[in-house]
Structure 1
């Protein structure tokens, strides 16, 4: 019977400790850190292909003006913005204030041939 009370007291103390604000803060911090690691691991391939696309664009369209370089950084921030750019300015032939004429055509070709535009196949 004494053993039961000792185990029950330990469980109650454990519950009280785990519900304390400090422990909750600690667990939240650990969860955020692990989540950031998992997101980083999951998006590593996409970030690498976006970096390669940025380098490819800079190499093939050089020399770029500073505002064009920052625009390239902006549109290659993630694959959704690359696809949005391609859809708006390449497929729909909308006017782009940063790239026009042959530079825009070259940019569209580079983006079209990049792995970023390849559709992921379902498993």
Structure 2
């Protein structure tokens, strides 16, 4: 009987401690860290493909002016930006102030051949 009271008291103390604001904050912080880590691991292949695409663009279209380099950084920030650029300026042939003529055609070809766009076609 005495053992039952000890176990019950331990359970009650555990519940009180777990409900404290410090422990809740600690668990929330741990959850955020683990979530960020999982998102980072899940998006690693996409980030690698985007980095590879950015490197190909910088190599094949060099020399790029500083504003063009900044624009390439913006385009390759995520796969949605790459797809949006390709749809707007390559498929719909809209005017792009940063890349014109053969540079834009080369850029469109590089993007079209990239794994980022290949994944989009499979989806």
TM range (shorter): over 0.9
Cross-structure match for 1:2: 2
CA deviation after TM superposition for structure 1 residue 119, in Å: 2.6
Q: How does 1:36-115 map to 2 (within 5 A)?
A: 36-115=36-115
TM-score, reference length from structure 1: 0.94
The answer to which structure has the higher helix fraction is: 2
Supply the distance in 1 between the matched residues of 2:96 and 2:2 (Cα, whole angstroms). 79
CA deviation after TM superposition for structure 1 residue 22, in Å: 0.8
Cross-structure match for 1:28: 28
Cross-structure match for 2:16: 16
Give the RMSD, CA atoms, in angstroms. Answer: 1.2
Gapped regions of structure 1 (runs ≥ 5) = none
TM-score, reference length from structure 2: 0.94
Aligned-partner SS, 1:99: coil
Gapped regions of structure 2 (runs ≥ 5) = none
CA deviation after TM superposition for structure 1 residue 36, in Å: 1.1
Structure 1 segments (4+ residues) deviating >6 Å: none
Supply the distance in 1 between the matched residues of 2:75 and 2:99 (Cα, whole angstroms). 12
**Cα shift readout 1:79-105 (whole Å, capped 9, x = no counterpart):** 111001100110011111111111110
Supply the distance in 2 between the matched residues of 1:69 and 1:119 (Cα, whole angstroms). 25
